[in-house]
Amino acid sequence: MYHSGKVGSMNQAEAIEMALDHFAKLLEEQLKRVDQMKAGEDWADYSKIKPIVVGVVGGDGIGPYITKEAVRVLEYVLQKEIAEGKVQLKDIKGLTIEERAKAMKALPEDVLAALKECHVILKGPLTTPKKGDPWPNLESANVSMRRELDLFANVRPVKVPEQGIDWIFYRENTEGEYVLGSKGFNVTEDLAVDFKIITTQGAERIVRLAFEYAKKNGIKRVSAVTKANVIKTTDGKFLETARRVAKDYPDIQFDDWFVDIMAAKLVDEKRRKDFKVIVLPNLYGDILTDEAAEFQGGVGTAGSANIGKRYAMFEAIHGSAPRMVQEGRAPYADPSSIMRAAVMLLRHIGFVDQAQKYEMALDVCGQFEKKVALTGRSDGATGAKFADYVMETIRSPDLEKKWRSYQRG
Ligand code: NAD
């Protein structure tokens, strides 16, 4: 690495030589990753797996409280499938911050082994130690889990039913600018270089995932976002791959947008309702999902998924809210976000009808009818009461009629 202190001792040719060495190492690592992806497994086919094992991780803080309620509703909508042995729920222990600190590992080996025995995971929030916390400074268990289980897609739905917004973002999670974000290079004191990577395999697996979601859920449009007019090589590859994959889905309309125009279109009230599934490289995904989330009120309105070919993990978008636990308010935590993650899990493993019912009930209970109010405090309902309300709503014979009556347009 070039250090400013060495200015006098290093000429330009030497600086370039060092940069080339650094670059060569990065290329070797990335080509190895490409080989691994090429040799990688096929997509899990849940229609052929029996039982589908759903691992449940309660997590830290309010995690066990909200996860328990999400699971109660999950078990309710899957009663038949569980009774028939098609689905099995498995409690995964050992991932609380106390246990991780004891093992001095972000993801203790026995827990990783237990996670790998599951097909999909519903996960409560996990505390990541920060400076000043009473815990050792361990890596984020979430980051570790994404890497160990190769969860390359971050999937974030954004729904604002009263405005007709129903988007789902497929953000690539292992490439782009971020994967080598800490491996940039100061060639000289004045010249800094970072690296952006897109591989054919990495682009193809995320684009295909987005199209498969559209196909499974009867959605007729997929939009890709790049800046391929300027970032011609890497974004060009992403776009070219998306166009090629789109040909395998002739019933789904495919279009592509530049990230700046898309950022504008998402605030265009006339046009934004038309977008459905949006697939994009890492950096654009990070920015646009934050922009999109601004339209959506509160933590209760979305869950999040991290998807790989073999494993998938579904979680709330918020954290473990330790203060709520310290103040004795954990039973009053809102379980909606992890419930929405459970809906995503159901869709992912192919139980679309059950997912639909669970989701319609969440919309009715949390966004429209609101007979049970959650305030996060004892002046509001408990998460358990809210879960009872959701199940009662699912049972109601006119759930769909009620849900439709709340939809705009
Ligand atoms: P947080 O989301 O846990 O809490 C922020 C505030 O939001 C809370 O004080 C609470 O008032 C409110 N809140 C959050 N969820 C709620 C719910 N379900 N019901 C009612 N109110 C709710 O954010 P934070 O304080 O920044 O993070 C706490 C811990 O969670 C940190 O250790 C962080 O690393 C971790 N975290 C984990 C994940 C994850 O596991 N994916 C995500 C984000 C944060």
Q: Looking at the domain assignment, is residue 107 inside a domain?
A: yes
Atom from ligand 1 closest to the CA of residue 336:
18
- pLDDT of 4 over the 60 cut: no
Q: pLDDT band at 284, cuts 50/70/90?
A: very high
Please indicate, yes or no, whether residues 403 and 326 belong to a single structural domain of this protein: yes
What sign for the dihedral angle of Cα 147, 149, 152, 158? Answer: negative
- pLDDT of 299 over the 80 cut: no
List the residue whose alpha carbon is closest to atom 25 of ligand 1: 321
Q: Could you give the CA distance from residue 273 to residue 164 in angstroms, rounded to a whole number?
A: 6
The per-residue pLDDT for 132 is: 85
3-class secondary structure, 52: strand
| Token pair of 66 as six digits | 């909200």
The per-residue pLDDT for 3 is: 46
Please indicate, yes or no, whether residues 144 and 76 belong to a single structural domain of this protein: yes
CA–centroid distance, 88 to ligand 1, in Å, is 29
List the residue whose alpha carbon is closest to atom 12 of ligand 1: 321
Please indicate, yes or no, whether residues 26 and 52 belong to a single structural domain of this protein: no
End-to-end CA distance of the chain: 59
Q: Looking at the domain assignment, is residue 99 inside a domain?
A: yes
Q: pLDDT band at 408, cuts 50/70/90?
A: low
Please indicate, yes or no, whether residues 357 and 400 belong to a single structural domain of this protein: yes
Contacts of 166 (CB under 8 A, 6+ apart): 157, 159, 276
Q: pLDDT band at 2, cuts 50/70/90?
A: very low
Q: pLDDT band at 409, cuts 50/70/90?
A: very low
Q: What is the mean pLDDT of the chain?
A: 92
Place of tokens 């000289």: 188
The per-residue pLDDT for 8 is: 53
What are the pocket residues of ligand 1 if the criterion is a CB atom closer than 6 Å to any ligand atom? 62, 66, 125-128, 142, 299, 315, 318-324, 333-334, 376
Please indicate, yes or no, whether residues 117 and 136 belong to a single structural domain of this protein: yes
Q: Looking at the domain assignment, is residue 193 inside a domain?
A: no
Environment class of residue 277 by beta-carbon count within 10 Å: exposed (0-12), middle (13-18) or buried (19+)? buried
Please indicate, yes or no, whether residues 75 and 12 belong to a single structural domain of this protein: no
Q: Could you give the CA distance from residue 243 to residue 245 in angstroms, rounded to a whole number?
A: 6
Q: Look at 5-19, 113-127, 247-261 and tell me which has the smallest mean pLDDT.
A: 5-19
CA–centroid distance, 269 to ligand 1, in Å, is 31
Q: What is the mean pLDDT of residues 236-249?
A: 98
- pLDDT of 348 over the 50 cut: yes
Give pLDDT tens digits for 137-184: 888 898 889 888 989 999 999 988 778 899 999 999 989 987 787 788
CA–centroid distance, 143 to ligand 1, in Å, is 16
CA–centroid distance, 75 to ligand 1, in Å, is 25
Q: Looking at the domain assignment, is residue 365 inside a domain?
A: yes
Give pLDDT tens digits for 79-122: 999 999 999 999 999 999 999 999 999 999 999 999 999 999 99
Q: Looking at the domain assignment, is residue 317 inside a domain?
A: yes
Q: Looking at the domain assignment, is residue 343 inside a domain?
A: yes
Q: Count up the domains in the chain and report the number.
A: 2
The 221-226 sheet, strands edge to edge? 87-91, 52-57, 120-123, 312-316, 303-307, 153-160, 165-172, 277-280, 221-226, 253-258
Please indicate, yes or no, whether residues 100 and 123 belong to a single structural domain of this protein: yes
Place of tokens 């729904």: 159
Q: What is the mean pLDDT of residues 63-72?
A: 98
Please indicate, yes or no, whether residues 19 and 109 belong to a single structural domain of this protein: no
Q: Which domain holds residue 104?
A: 42-151+308-409
Helix or strand (DSSP H, E) at 255: strand 253-258
Please indicate, yes or no, whether residues 34 and 89 belong to a single structural domain of this protein: no
Q: What is the mean pLDDT of residues 31-46?
A: 90
List the residue whose alpha carbon is closest to atom 24 of ligand 1: 319
Please indicate, yes or no, whether residues 16 and 102 belong to a single structural domain of this protein: no
CATH number at residue 407: 3.40.718.10
| Token pair of 384 as six digits | 């358990």
List the residue whose alpha carbon is closest to atom 18 of ligand 1: 334
Considering only CA atoms, which of 374, 369, 373 is closest in space to residue 402?
Answer: 369
List the residue whose alpha carbon is closest to atom 7 of ligand 1: 321
Q: Looking at the domain assignment, is residue 186 inside a domain?
A: no
List the residue whose alpha carbon is closest to atom 30 of ligand 1: 319
- pLDDT of 226 over the 80 cut: yes
Please indicate, yes or no, whether residues 57 and 129 belong to a single structural domain of this protein: yes
Q: Looking at the domain assignment, is residue 2 inside a domain?
A: no
Please indicate, yes or no, whether residues 109 and 137 belong to a single structural domain of this protein: yes
| Ligand 1 mutation target, pool 318, 377, 379, most atoms within 8 A of CB | 318
pTM of the predicted structure, to 2 decimals:
0.86
Instruction: Report residue 262: phi and psi, to 5°.
Output: -65, -40
Q: pLDDT band at 9, cuts 50/70/90?
A: low
